[in-house]
Amino acid sequence: MVETKPADALVEIRRISKHFGEGEARVDALRDVTLTINAREVVGLLGPSGSGKSTLLNAIACILEPDGGWMRLDGEVVYDNRWLRGNLRRLRLDKIGFIFQSHNLLPFLNCTDNVALVLTLAGWKMNAAAARARELLTYLQVEHRAAAMPGQLSGGEAQRVAIARALANRPRIILADEPTAALDSARAGIVMDLLHKLAVDQDAAIIAVTHDDKILGRLDRIYRMVDGRLAG
């Protein structure tokens, strides 16, 4: 498939489909989904359970292989009815950051080490990884918790450390799965303001799956999913 690259487009998918099961048990989780998300955007994916939101996020994350379609991430065509990149783990390390509803911080590592771990897995030396981790914790205003263990953090602090981890390798595509669901309105607003700042400062695209009505007004665009299709 020959495609021209729109200016600033970081996520481009065309007619992506995915089904599970066969025959009467078949479920079409994604049906010819097409969308483009640009740098410096925070985009929301809304829809009821089973509508395909998480499946789409996992396809963009190169965790779940589609059954057909085409996808380009940060200028690289990575899927055209098959994976075009052999090392998908490296692709995720290089291009994609993940933020989850549950922060998923490792309980036996302090905040600095939780963030630095991503970089050491990517091949950074420990001193450089720790310096980058401290830089991000300062940027997100939790540097005073650098030596704290996850169990000592508030919900808002833990989410900021998780965001620092997602940013560690400077990804331009950030995927957030219910990033504010566990936070109250004030903390949810702070996290969304941070995500907008990150989108601009990092020249990144952020895609957030959410059911959280508190943050809808802070999204640049909203896509609603129904039965595996984008409804707008």
Under-50 pLDDT residues of the chain: 1-2, 4
pLDDT by residue (tens digit) across 145-159?
A: 999 999 999 888 888
Can you give the pLDDT at residue 1? 44
Q: What is the DSSP string of 126-185?
A: HHHHHHHHHHHHHHTT-GGGTT--GGGS-HHHHHHHHHHHHHTT--SEEEEESTTTTS-H
pTM recorded for the entire structure: 0.83
Domain-wise residue ranges, the chain = 9-230
Residue that is written with structure tokens 């049906």 in the block: 31
The CATH number of the domain covering residues in 9-230: 3.40.50.300
pLDDT by residue (tens digit) across 69-100?
A: 999 999 999 999 999 988 898 888 888 988 87
